[in-house]
Structure 1
């Protein structure tokens, strides 16, 4: 029997990207698909703009007046999820027409984690609005595919997905394009909300799933396209370093994990 799913999308004042993300999902959403958008401390104009979107399917909005952060926002979505499987998608990722069905096809037997491909796109705000105005999803996707390229770091991380139970497979666990059986993520208590700001709340969950011997499946035909956006570089790196310190203190006895965190720390420090 085909399983139902809940798609959890946290968002923070990126309405044009969110609108395009939701448009790309439109041909795929059926009565067995719940779409949850978590507004994480968004401005009033973002909420108002969302309410004016013209979509053919219902969305379950969750509005947090306070900005609670990536981990807590996703947990709000998890709490409202009614599907057998949760697909995590970001508010700036565009999906191809078979995205949902391909994810669900792997969850018919034992509970697992499914990771897809991640492609990068660099578009101006004007170009994003132009894409949103395309008449059909086919035209939108055709334009997107022309300028997409593989995400550099994820391309490296794929090495750890060669085997379904590779000891370091959690390194490739990134929430922009991943599905998990709902029973698994609720059993583990969702994301650790002590991770604040940017970084590693997803790696932490991936690590805990791996420690439970959960199988990871990689299917690089499940594609999403990331619309890149700017970050305040120093702020992002400082948040990253704080989260790495917390991650390191959380699992002090895992020497291999400590080495992995050490490498991440060097990378983050070089970006300051």
Structure 2
């Protein structure tokens, strides 16, 4: 797994330029924008909006934001751009200039029990809070005291894992967040559905967190796919970029790269 240097960058640029059909799969938080104290504060800035518009309007480019965010939020922030959106960890998607579809019919009968459990942790860990989405629940501890937050996160994660089988849950241990969702879908299943029947000549997938590993794994056998992990944690991705700034610079280089 290689940190993208000038030689790799040049090679990827050449592959991109030679391809007539290209797919971009871009995680949002921690990849395109910094994490915020509150999820609602991580709004896209003007520079990012311009970059995504530039990438999305180029002939041959299909650009998707693929995120654990809910469909309402991402549609509100990015829906006017020439992009596709995959939200709720792969459960919902909208192709460019199309309408929302649900990829996975999901049973959320588990939600009340898990919400009660997460609220208990939120009460016992000052600064943490529960975010309720349509198809998942997330306990955020970014604003909690470091030791208390990490300790509670570990305990909550274990407690949720013990419920996985009985409640058909998938538990995600993300960046300062523990999330519970249905088991029938993930970013990997969404990506497989997207590339099936589409003969993309160049695929670029960028993500920073454990949920993106499903996406990277789904593309592992695709010879024309470049998978990129943001940050230094373990990954199955082929390449690595250090941070959001290097991701944006790399995407900007692709956006202005002429044939």
TM-score, normalized by the shorter chain, greater than 0.5:
no
TM-score (norm 2): 0.24
What TM-score results when the alignment is normalised by the length of structure 1?
0.23
